[in-house]
Structure 1
């Protein structure tokens, strides 16, 4: 909101965030604008809602936020306390819905892009993992289970990080070109803007492919930083991971998760696929504060969550 940082988490098929009360109106307008844009551009109906933290606490839950810094340039929020999950459930029931924005409203999606190619698994498969505590808030048992799961994944190369140390690769035209065109064309006709993006991304590809510095931009540094900044692990009232996983590690994870589910500690879902994908927010290619959201390329978190069995 107006250049101010706020805690947020991207969950694959949705996102959650927290803002101060004096920014609520501005944040609500931004959410309503995104909903309007999604309907106009893709025919997709989004749910958007804002829930006062006071009402979360009145329900016996909370919205606790911690910061996780994977690299010097960025940090990500981790939510616990059960409040975010409760708010999502209430939203899906129709509560706290925001009013619709006027037709034609265009959100500010500056920096949103999908220019990297999908990342192929090096270890066997890309495993999307969604683990939720049984009960509204995560307690010591769930914390121990999460630590055990992360410990198992830590034995993988880069602890299961799908993006290699040297960074992701890009091809031209990028697979997300059409999506980026929809996100950034504004009042410009989509076809014309897409042609412009073809030229822009061709130049980007050239400098990234050959690692040619230009006007203060260091492609080699930028590419490596993409991997450092990516959020392949996250916590939003539950643990989510996108892992480049071998068969042996996947077997261990499944065994631990299945036992915990039988013990009544968790619910979980998994989705196995060949590739991971990245969606990016890049305020500037000259600074290291660009963020990259990793998900499985064939269903990912959405498919894993859909496989969760509710007792």
Structure 2
């Protein structure tokens, strides 16, 4: 529901509620930081390990409107950049806070204590303005209280998966995030974009990698949403993971173990991020191109510069990548053979026909990487991967189509 405005303060009812929680929410602030992560991805279906998000938190959610259309016209890099920019903007606005988040390809989701409502609202509004003004993409953003999610009959529960010794990612279940996304697309709980040319702090956002080609034949984007948390869904996930474990390199990891290399010239979007003003000129374009060339040369040659070890950094890129996650359902971007892709898709179709899940997949020949690197001498840089020709957005569109077909068949 869209909140009415308070005539005295100009704030919505939800904003006023969060303001009153500022002191009460302090005791729950370290909820996520204190969650003990698991390091075996197969444990993602151990739903008893997911803990309820505190009631005084909220879900911040963002989604690029008409992303499928944008991707069909070759703008997948821009779409992915906007999704990652949401997470970077909020992280830079709250640098001391450990909070759960998930990258969705054409959007992102965060969970934040209520006391930080104003900071997150401003970061979301700025990111929406930047996406529109710089990349000509409409970013829908909303803030949904966890209390509202539970009042609607859903929940938000969390676990934490350690992708490496240095980086962990949140796992969401309970259906609440999916419900919040549905509300966002209906225009509920929405946040208006900031004024013209507002720009969030996107320090550390890096989009200089080119397409990362498949080594086994197919980059497969997978989404499989459980109809309910049941043993048969856990068995489905186990089967998919087993197919990848025993038949694919490094469980289907789409990045080379030594890490990828950036494009020689960094790409148009990286150059846009490097500009200090909205209007590029020849000198800034040349400076950005030279920086990109230097970055590629240092990383490929392994030349150490002070404390920066490029070979170690590249290996960490691969280790710290979010190529598999659970966001109210299994989501993966994997490198596998066409035969394994066939087997995975057949297993998902069987599960759909049995009422276990709804699913969508999409095949492409390369993956795309968008990164947050607050410091290249630390090991906690994070890397968001998606398919480079539709990815999660295309898989989600096919999932939606399969749901519509299933409803029509029942009718």
Q: TM-score, normalised by structure 2?
A: 0.72
Is 1:122 aligned to residue 218 of structure 2? no
Conserved? CA contact 1:178–1:194, under 8 Å: no
Conserved? CA contact 2:274–2:288, under 8 Å: no
- Counting only pairs closer than 5 Å after superposition, residues 230-245 of structure 1 correspond to structure 2 as 230-245=321-336
Bigger CA drift: 45-54 or 187-196?
Answer: 187-196
Is 1:273 aligned to residue 402 of structure 2? no
1:237 deviation in Å?
A: 0.3
Deviation track 1:271-302 (CA, whole Å, cap 9, x = no partner) reads: 11111110111001101111111111111111
* Cα distance between partner residues in 2 of 1:306 and 1:285: 36
Corresponding residue number in structure 2 for 1:251: 342
Corresponding residue number in structure 1 for 2:72: none
Corresponding residue number in structure 1 for 2:153: 60
1:148 deviation in Å?
A: 2.1
Deviation track 1:186-223 (CA, whole Å, cap 9, x = no partner) reads: 43633454332212212211211211101111111111
Deviation track 1:244-279 (CA, whole Å, cap 9, x = no partner) reads: 111221122112101100011111111111111101
Is 1:170 aligned to residue 170 of structure 2? no
Tell me the secondary structure at the aligned position of residue 241 of structure 2: helix
Corresponding residue number in structure 2 for 1:45: 138
Corresponding residue number in structure 2 for 1:197: 288
Is 1:85 aligned to residue 187 of structure 2? no
Corresponding residue number in structure 2 for 1:304: 395
* Cα distance between partner residues in 2 of 1:39 and 1:237: 28
- Displaced runs of 4+ in structure 1, greater than 4 A? none
* Cα distance between partner residues in 2 of 1:133 and 1:67: 19
1:51 deviation in Å?
A: 0.1
* Cα distance between partner residues in 1 of 2:358 and 2:284: 44
Kindly indicate whether structure 1 or structure 2 has the higher relative contact order, using CA contacts under 8 Å at least 6 residues apart: 1
- Residue of structure 1 aligned with 2:114, choices 21, 41, 57: 21
Aligned residues: 307
Corresponding residue number in structure 1 for 2:162: 69
* Cα distance between partner residues in 1 of 2:273 and 2:150: 36
* Cα distance between partner residues in 2 of 1:54 and 1:139: 25
1:95 deviation in Å?
A: 0.5
- Residue of structure 2 aligned with 1:292, choices 360, 379, 383: 383
Conserved? CA contact 1:82–1:138, under 8 Å: no
* Cα distance between partner residues in 2 of 1:217 and 1:252: 42
* Cα distance between partner residues in 2 of 1:209 and 1:216: 17
- When residues 188 and 302 of structure 1 are mapped into structure 2, their CA distance, relative to the original with a 3 A threshold, is closer
1:141 deviation in Å?
A: 3.2
Conserved? CA contact 1:53–1:63, under 8 Å: yes
- When residues 164 and 194 of structure 1 are mapped into structure 2, their CA distance, relative to the original with a 3 A threshold, is same
Corresponding residue number in structure 2 for 1:161: 253
1:147 deviation in Å?
A: 2.3
RMSD: 1.5
* Cα distance between partner residues in 1 of 2:168 and 2:273: 24
* Cα distance between partner residues in 2 of 1:215 and 1:167: 21
Corresponding residue number in structure 2 for 1:146: 237
* Cα distance between partner residues in 1 of 2:382 and 2:292: 19
1:144 deviation in Å?
A: 2.8
* Cα distance between partner residues in 2 of 1:117 and 1:145: 33
* Cα distance between partner residues in 1 of 2:225 and 2:151: 22
- Residue of structure 2 aligned with 1:185, choices 260, 275, 280: 275
Tell me the secondary structure at the aligned position of residue 307 of structure 1: helix
Tell me the secondary structure at the aligned position of residue 385 of structure 2: strand
1:56 deviation in Å?
A: 0.6
Corresponding residue number in structure 2 for 1:221: 312
Conserved? CA contact 1:80–1:138, under 8 Å: no
1:184 deviation in Å?
A: 4.2
Q: Which runs of 5+ in 2 are unaligned?
A: 1-92, 407-411
